[in-house]
A and B are shown apart, each in its own frame.
Chain A
């Protein structure tokens, strides 16, 4: 797959709120940050899959601005890969969260995690 094709499959999943990821069919490595070769073994035999979006908070920080604050963090998905995201409410490391993706007007992804109720 060329990178363009990977991103087109990513967008299809992300436009319905899902979190896409890549899996290497040769070594099994799973990763989110899209490349057309596996960063571990170099294979081009990759597959785009939709994550179930459920994971745990790996780390978080609350950033304070003049009049508001927001939360930024890393979530480890059940499938075994991690993503940077914003988090909608106060959390602790290890909390279970569900991720929702939206595609912004400029094509960039807004990845939001909220506590799994």
Chain B
């Protein structure tokens, strides 16, 4: 079960990435009532450029264990970007059930401020390191182009969605507005001022049709989750189980997919949607990402995601609560990955400690993470208590 979790989010953290990771880990261990010496398994993820500015780290998990001073039996890198946090939780539960470990650390995050200062978006990280990082196996054919990935990639999806299904800019803006409403009640949120559809539509156009207020702001920060056999603390954390799980990997260049308006959530969420789900935490790198998942997990028919947000109140008080804490669009995106933010919000809801934005009687929450280069990976988890 998940016995402890913690986050630390900063617009810019002036210290070392190791230090920030360690302090967040200690907070999560404290909640679980465990000592660092209890840790016998560790999952972590990292993206180029997000660990003290290095393009990459030699034997990364070893470095992290070295700094933390832990001796886990196994360590593993999960390489799905924003979806990694959810994969880690699933793998940690499995390892514990199989008797391979008793206490597993799941760590996501890093510092985005270095790449941010270079003016380089994460999927163009090669440009910050003089092409010493590869982006695809086809960089000769792809990296001669001018783009702003991942923003421009999602913009292509949003524009094609508009063309195929007549979805509107107003419908996407509504997603940002609803999430902001939820964020206004969340003291972890960076953006808490009221927001209107007009303000979203009038914000700076970044990559048509995506405007500034539809796009996450990359920040520095970590989320650490402790999955352990037993909790040793007296904290009132609920004994949560994974009630549903699905995972799908679509590694193709999006141009080689049948269409770009589907995400692998179509496969990862298959059969997991049911009436018992009280809230949804959906990956929110951009407004369009949320709209696509509403369709792909089955809340709305394909193409009707925009209408879905018009018909339903998706605030934490509404009939279909989505991104109940305001999501990464308002908390900021630690090291270019939103998975920790949506998972932590699900845990706050399930433990009835989402102060100010608590969904009444949240017993079952569906979390969907999307990650990897150009939406290549999706993980769906349904969390709740096993009856």
Contact = CB atoms under 8 A, between A and B. Distances in A.
B156 A59 contact: yes
Interface string B143-173: 1111110011001110110010000000000
A59 B260 contact: yes
Given A32-B141, A84-B142, A74 B255 contact: yes
B226 to A, nearest CB: 40
B325 to A, nearest CB: 29
Given A32-B141, A82-B256, A109-B141, A59 B148 contact: no
Interface in A43-83: 58-64, 70, 72-74, 81-83
B140 interface: yes
A70 B206 CA distance: 11
Contact of B160 (A34, A58, A83, A108): A58
Contact of A93 (B131, B147, B160): B160
A63 B148 contact: yes
Contacts of B207: 61-64, 72
Contacts of A10: 141
Contacts of B141: 10, 32-34, 108-109, 111
Given A33-B138, A61-B208, A108-B139, A74 B144 contact: no
Contact of A31 (B152, B156, B157, B256): B256
A60 B209 CA distance: 10
Contacts of A58: 160, 255, 260
Contacts of B209: 61
Given A64-B206, A72-B147, A108-B139, A33 B253 contact: yes
Nearest to A94: B163
Interface in B191-229: 204-210
Interface residues on A, range: 20 to 34
B57 interface: no
B116 to A, nearest CB: 16
B252 interface: yes
B206 A39 contact: no
A83 B255 contact: yes
Contacts of A106: 131, 144
A15 interface: no
A73 B140 CA distance: 17
A33 B204 contact: no
Contacts of A31: 256
Given A61-B207, A61-B208, A111 B152 contact: no
A62 B151 CA distance: 11
Contacts of B148: 63, 72
A63 B210 CA distance: 9
A63 B255 contact: no
Contacts of A70: 146
Nearest to B147: A72
B217 to A, nearest CB: 17
A72 B256 contact: no
A34 B255 CA distance: 13
Contact of A109 (B137, B144, B163, B255): B144
Contacts of B137: 33, 35
Contacts of A83: 255
A10 B139 CA distance: 14
A93 B256 contact: no
A17 B131 CA distance: 25
Contacts of B205: 62, 64
A35 B253 CA distance: 12
B138 A34 contact: yes
A72 B208 contact: no
Nearest to A7: B140
A35 B252 CA distance: 12
A84 B256 CA distance: 10
Nearest to A104: B144
A63 B152 contact: yes
A110 interface: yes
Interface string A84-97: 11100000011000
A57 B209 CA distance: 16
Contacts of B143: 108
A94 B133 CA distance: 34
8 contacts: A32-B255, A33-B253, A61-B155, A64-B207, A72-B146, A74-B254, A104-B144, A109-B140
Given A33-B137, A33-B255, 16 more contacts: A59-B157, A59-B159, A60-B159, A63-B152, A63-B155, A64-B207, A72-B145, A81-B256, A84-B253, A86-B145, A86-B146, A93-B160, A93-B163, A106-B131, A108-B140, A111-B144
